[in-house]
Chains A and B, each alone.
Chain A
């Protein structure tokens, strides 16, 4: 399942997509949890009883702001979350 967390508003589309099929058998031992400086992710049991990462509910409406520090303007060449997620389950839309 591709789960998209985020929103679209007048300034653009801000979604973090998590491919739960890749996330279920995580080869990176849930490295996304520690890699994100903003602690955006947590592990939940989804509706189909799979343990997967998701973006915390309270974080979904502020992605543009919370993720800004990890974007190139913040001095990063790659996003810590996507780099840490070796299964390639995490993607950003912007």
Chain B
């Protein structure tokens, strides 16, 4: 048994390699107290939860964290995380929209909207009105979405039957390889020759296959590259079903993994539109923007 196989099959260390960076940000150049309308979007996903605050239609701040075993608590904690930083209370927020897998379990939400519509709306804000094709690589599902120049969905396809091509699949590989999840992407390029993609279409089998590759003498980096390629191929086949138009944009946690993103771009022959905003908050941002539009409509009546 080589050293890398031994390390991968040995009793796991207590270190949680899959644990991604939780993140809080707010615009320090602005004061939320100056805003006329404050709306909030809460995206309770299967793996991560985000709370986004929008002041008068502009992104003001967000908090992104791991979803716990209770959706209402995850929603509360996500929002509390950003409100504590800026001295805001729930009463200061005019409208709250819940989205994501646990959207109906956001206790203080005024409305629930599907993550499909919210990701399209969020991507439209983050990538601009040129965004037409969105790939949302979530924690446990993957969605291909087409939208118009206003971010309204025109076509969508979701694969939530298995975790292949999702963030959870990447977490599994991170733990198996005992490499921090943020390092997987960069390390996947550190190979002499690009390996064949892992062939298994199931995360559980892919895990076995990754171990078999280590046993066959693959380096960890080569196994990661094979896995990133497999993820890219799976989501591209999903995208091809609805077609890819110019104005391509990736949302979700996997958008932060260059090992997967670059391989998707190569397979599609198209570069994704860039943004400076955290791709993981797209759904919650879209939800908050929906809330803002609803408030504006109410005010106009």
Q: Which residues of A are at the interface with B, using a C-beta cutoff of 8 A?
A: 1-5, 7-10, 13, 15, 47-48, 60-61
Inter-chain contact B156/A61, CB cutoff 8 Å: no
- A15 lies within 8 A of B157 (CB): yes
User: B157 touching A48 by the CB < 8 A rule?
Assistant: no
CB <8 Å contact, B155 and A1: yes
A2-B238 contact in complex given A7-B160, A10-B201, C-beta closer than 8 Å: no
* Cβ of B76 to closest chain A Cβ, rounded Å: 24
Q: CB < 8 Å: which of A1, A3, A4, A61 contacts B161?
A: A61
**Nearest neighbor of A2 in chain B, beta-carbon distance:** B155
Besides A1-B153, A4-B158, A48-B152, 11 new A-B residue pairs in contact (Cβ under 8 A), listed by A number: A2-B154, A3-B155, A3-B156, A4-B157, A4-B241, A8-B161, A15-B241, A47-B153, A48-B117, A60-B160, A61-B160
| A3 to B113 Cα, complex, angstroms | 15
Most chain-A CB neighbours within 10 Å: which of B152, B154, B157?
B157
B23 interfacial contact with A, CB 8 Å: no
Whether the pair A9, B156 counts as a contact (CB closer than 8 A) is: no
Q: When the two chains form their complex, are residues A9 and B157 in contact, meaning their CB atoms are under 8 A apart?
A: no
B156→A4 contact, CB < 8 A: yes
Residues of B with C-beta under 8 A to A13? 241
What is the bound-complex CA distance between A4 and B157, given in angstroms?
5
Chain A contacts of B160 at CB under 8 A?
Answer: 7, 60-61
Chain A residues with Cβ below 8 Å from B201 are: 9-10
Complex Cα spacing A1 to B242, Å? 12
Whose C-beta in chain A lies nearest to the C-beta of B201?
A10
**Complexed CA–CA distance, A92 and B237 (Å):** 18
- Does B105 lie at the interface of the complex (its beta carbon under 8 Å from any beta carbon of A)? no
Min CB distance A59 to B, Å, is: 13
A88, chain B: closest CB distance, angstroms: 16
**What is the minimal beta-carbon distance from A86 to any residue of chain B, in angstroms?**
22
B238 partner, pick from A8, A10, A47, A60, beta carbons under 8 A? A8
B156-176 residues at the A interface, CB under 8 angstroms: 156-162
